[in-house]
Amino acid sequence: MFNKNFLIENAKTLFYALIIAIFIRSLFLQPFYIPSSSMEPNLLVGDRLFVTKYSYGYSKHSFPFSPPIFKGRLFNKEPKRGDVIVFKTPADNRTDYIKRLIGLPGDQIQFIESNLYLNNSEILKSKISKNDIIFCGDKKLEVFTFEELLPNKKKYITVYSKNFTFKNSDLFQVPDDHYFFLGDNRDCSKDSRFLTSVGFVHKDNLVGKAQFIFFSSDKSVGSIFFFWKWNNSIRLDRFLKKIK
């Protein structure tokens, strides 16, 4: 027998659950998947992480499909140099990228002989290893691994190809209300160095701050649905790892 009340009550439950999910996703936490190797070795393809939406306030990009419900940012908070941030690319205001914030409004940034300069001062980096291998898409790169130190004392790991394929750049002057981002995998990252595809990112395009990895799997081993491969594909050592 058709039970109309049963269907109505279930529809209400699903509707309320959807509203709660959208509320949490828009204002508090949103999960993201890492599809590329541009942030290796700190973020790997297959990492799934949580981003806090409240860290820098809210813009239209805080909500699903970026509805034009208001302009600017509400409860705006300035990001800190060195933060790992998800943002919408200026090229289409739709695609999510994740990179490290290097340049603040008014900063000058330049690469000279593969060394990063910020406001005419070289960013200090200490070599940790000279025998590491990381991915760039499906290719493997032999890299030098460094610990870089920003002026605000933020430290993080970055890698440069042993060939130093990106040696010199123009001088980048960060405009007002914009930011300059770099991938930690310096020779395998489409970021603010490439003005036609990413370039300077407006503050309204910031989505949130990457906080920690909640799940990670190596897709090259196989899908997570292949449970018999979990011992090789799931990276337990990355679960609940804080993003620095």
- What are phi and psi for residue 48, nearest 5 degrees? -120, 125
Q: What's residue 146's pLDDT? A: 97
What is the rounded end-to-end Cα distance, in angstroms, of the chain?
58
Question: Looking at the domain that runs over 31-242, which CATH code has it been given?
Answer: 2.10.109.10
**In this predicted model, what pLDDT tens digit does every residue of 120-174 receive, in sequence order?**
999 999 999 998 999 998 899 999 999 999 999 999 999 999 987 888 999 999 9
Q: Give the CA diameter of the chain.
A: 77
8 A C-beta contact, residue 183 and residue 99: yes
Catalytic residues: 38, 99
- What are the angstrom distances between the C-alpha of 85 and each of 43, 75, 88, 100, 185? 12, 17, 10, 6, 15
Q: What's residue 18's pLDDT? A: 76
Low-confidence ranges of the chain (pLDDT < 70): 1-4, 6, 10, 21, 222-230
Q: What's residue 28's pLDDT? A: 86
8 A C-beta contact, residue 52 and residue 29: yes
Q: What's residue 122's pLDDT? A: 97
Q: What's residue 229's pLDDT? A: 66
Q: What's residue 133's pLDDT? A: 93
8 A C-beta contact, residue 90 and residue 99: no
